[in-house]
Structure 1
């Protein structure tokens, strides 16, 4: 099993990533820290607790992380993920509680209790990890490696024309992390999953139907563009019902930007890579973050050919097999939902 430490800003695709891992027999989640990004840090923590409770997951520590970026003002994305970060879904309020300790303590403690064994998965801004590295500079060498959903390489951005959301929310933190994790052996380098790959992971209505069928949830429904916005699911499975409500909002968002009736699932792909790097074709690069460009702040820049004269510091995911990925995603979340049955 892979020991995982998650750092998230739980919106819709983070939710799918968490459920993918909870449905994965090869994943052991040691803790979850949340940072402000898609929604506020406190709402992120509540979303994590609510999903864990909904599926009856074992007790997993959920810590509150940074509530603001290192330097710039916080921006959130209710237009993308809904007011609570989970689209139209309305999860029962969790009875589990947020941990008393901060995410920075969680990072350091878990890495030191399991030196060389923990894979860190970051699907939100890198604020917590940057703060943790500042406090514990040995952290990059204590972790087995980190997998980051962030940035974009030779591909347009989704926040500015050149920048991706997780990096754009806190580019200063991203710069600290990329610098701190430089100089590691090849097999310990961070793996970065940017928009260039994650935008090939496009969830479509037929995937939602397959998920419901595997879960034995009735009716096997999918959000339709012919229905009014905000139409709620009537699925018999609580998990499928809430996921369908969440993903409808994401479909509507993508449609409103004239991208089509689908949803990019960036974060579940990074979760899959955290468990098995063979999900991605990887290419070595020296990656840095632009901090001062008037139009390009938050842009991740990859030196593929050594023009900077610096050793590669990451592996960049450049290709995958999206449909094979969806086969596994549907299987893991669908069977998780089937085990839960029909009862609310």
Structure 2
């Protein structure tokens, strides 16, 4: 299945990309670099270097808008590290960006794969909103759209009520939901975007023990990360991808621990990548979603009208249930052998 990924890489975005490239049922046809966790330029560098690490072919990577639609950019180096990948160092590469921007990349990929393309957005929706301005028919060109963003009847992780991606560019999120709803509405509910908010994704928590399982599946030694380790301890894993994951996730674990959530990491974006390929991993409820833009305390909040009070067509299928163990089993089954082939090309 052709997949176009719009990411703000990001620890969990990097793991989402690894999942896509490890999946035999996915053909990544383009990557958009969105400003969010780090600035767009750094996101693009991370994406190009990840392709080098993965050892994959020439996948188009495009640079996205430098700032949200109407407000200054806010980034999250405290969460993801100064370059977005925690303590990890990615290999250098001579790969280059496309001559066209990320909004055009969305449109180009959709036109090249009409009715087949799966869109995945795991960062702020700036580039997708700009793409919809370029091509209002984009919703009808896609087979499926999966968005990681929002928090539905659930606490925020950036403000009391707002999730990070939506908070960074709430105007873009509001525009995407409005345009998608107008394009489809109730007439084609299976084409409504799948939206995975914190209410769902915070159920999927990577832990040191799960990370050790991944290392074993990759045929690699593991650093056996522990909350008792010195901050910034570097990975001793023998596999290059596991080493990057351990160094990136250590930073992510430390951040979550400092937030009082435990020595773990929520894998929001890898779950979204898995759902993009297999929507049946999650249970859904249709609703009408809008984004609060003017509230003094609630700006950036995603509001779901579950009961039709607004009298508007549904514009989203909101994830409401997931089996974390099933997700991690699938993640390890795919990414483990993918990592192993980096050091043992004959492994199958």
Question: In structure 2, the residue corresponding to 1:327 is in which secondary structure?
Answer: helix
2:84 is matched with 85
1:112 is matched with 111
Asked if 2 retains the 8 angstrom alpha-carbon contact of 1:237 and 1:342, the reply is no
Asked if 1:190 is matched to 2:171, the reply is no
- Distance across 1 between alignment mates of 2:30 and 2:260: 37
Q: How much has 1:342 moved relative to structure 2?
A: 6.9
1:155-234 counterparts in 2 under 5 A? 155-183=154-182, 184=184, 185-218=188-221, 220-234=222-236
- Distance across 1 between alignment mates of 2:278 and 2:217: 23
1:318 is matched with 320
**C-alpha distance after superposition, 1:169-224 (max 9, x if no partner):** 00000011000100411111100000000000000111111011111112x23221
Q: How much has 1:228 moved relative to structure 2?
A: 0.6
1:291 is matched with 293
Asked if 2 retains the 8 angstrom alpha-carbon contact of 1:208 and 1:221, the reply is no
Question: In structure 2, the residue corresponding to 1:144 is in which secondary structure?
Answer: strand
Question: In structure 2, the residue corresponding to 1:116 is in which secondary structure?
Answer: coil
Question: In structure 2, the residue corresponding to 1:158 is in which secondary structure?
Answer: coil
1:1-344 counterparts in 2 under 5 A? 2-183=1-182, 184=184, 185-218=188-221, 220-341=222-343
TM-score, length of structure 1 as denominator length: 0.98
Q: How much has 1:142 moved relative to structure 2?
A: 1.2
Asked if 2 retains the 8 angstrom alpha-carbon contact of 1:14 and 1:123, the reply is yes
**C-alpha distance after superposition, 1:263-296 (max 9, x if no partner):** 0000000001100100110100000000000111
Question: How many aligned residue pairs are there?
Answer: 341
The more displaced of 205-214 and 93-102 is 93-102
Asked if 2 retains the 8 angstrom alpha-carbon contact of 1:285 and 1:312, the reply is yes
Question: In structure 1, the residue corresponding to 2:318 is in which secondary structure?
Answer: strand
Asked if 1 retains the 8 angstrom alpha-carbon contact of 2:104 and 2:134, the reply is no
Structure 1 residue ranges without an equivalent (≥5): none
Q: How much has 1:75 moved relative to structure 2?
A: 0.4
Asked if 1 retains the 8 angstrom alpha-carbon contact of 2:129 and 2:173, the reply is yes
- Distance across 1 between alignment mates of 2:29 and 2:218: 27
Structure 2 residue ranges without an equivalent (≥5): none
- Distance across 2 between alignment mates of 1:241 and 1:277: 30
Q: How much has 1:145 moved relative to structure 2?
A: 2.2
**C-alpha distance after superposition, 1:80-99 (max 9, x if no partner):** 00000000001122221111
- Distance across 1 between alignment mates of 2:343 and 2:107: 38
TM-score, length of structure 2 as denominator length: 0.96
The more displaced of 194-203 and 326-335 is 326-335
Asked if 2 retains the 8 angstrom alpha-carbon contact of 1:74 and 1:169, the reply is yes
CA RMSD of aligned residues (A): 1.0
- Distance across 1 between alignment mates of 2:67 and 2:224: 36
Question: In structure 1, the residue corresponding to 2:181 is in which secondary structure?
Answer: coil
Question: In structure 2, the residue corresponding to 1:319 is in which secondary structure?
Answer: strand
- Distance across 2 between alignment mates of 1:55 and 1:271: 17
